């Protein structure tokens, strides 16, 4: 599995520069952005969502345990949870 460190090593840029490209941040010239993007494409690199969540210290996941997901009562509860989370901006 390719990591951000592999992309940095192969592209010749730092991990933080590669991170800026991946997160669409400023402070990276167009030429550098193109070079790094080419390496990302060549390696078929996809950022690891679990690693991103660990780095942020939070996820946008909500765990719900119900006895029967097919019962309309529990389906309505889950819909309500999702609607409340969406209003608060806690879902992606």
pTM for the model stands at 0.64
Write out the residue range of the structural domain in which residue 79 sits: 60-92
Torsion sign over Cα 83, 87, 91, 92: positive
List, in order, residues 6 or more apart from 66 with CB less than 8 Å away.
74, 77, 78
User: Among residues 4, 25, 1, which one has the least CA distance to residue 13?
Assistant: 4
pLDDT of res. 20: 93
- Residue 42, token pair as written in the block: 């060549």
- pLDDT tens readout for residues 16-32: 999 999 989 888 999 99
For the beta carbon of residue 6, count every other beta carbon within 10 angstroms: 14
Answer yes or no: do 46 and 76 share one domain.
no
User: Which domain CATH number covers 47?
Assistant: 1.10.260.40
Answer yes or no: do 40 and 72 share one domain.
no
If one counts the domains in the chain, the total is 2
Answer yes or no: do 36 and 66 share one domain.
no
Answer yes or no: do 66 and 83 share one domain.
yes
Answer yes or no: do 32 and 73 share one domain.
no
Answer yes or no: do 43 and 84 share one domain.
no
pLDDT of res. 90: 61
């Amino acid at each position: 599995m390719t990591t951000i460190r592999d992309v940095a090593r192969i592209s010749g840029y730092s991990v933080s520069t590669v991170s800026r490209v991946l997160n669409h941040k400023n402070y990276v010239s167009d030429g550098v952005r193109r070079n790094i993007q080419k390496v990302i494409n060549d390696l078929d690199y996809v950022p690891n969502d679990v690693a991103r969540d660990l780095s942020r210290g939070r996820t946008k996941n909500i765990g719900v345990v119900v006895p029967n997901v097919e019962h309309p009562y529990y389906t309505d509860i889950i819909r309500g949870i999702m609607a409340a989370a969406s209003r608060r901006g806690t879902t992606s």
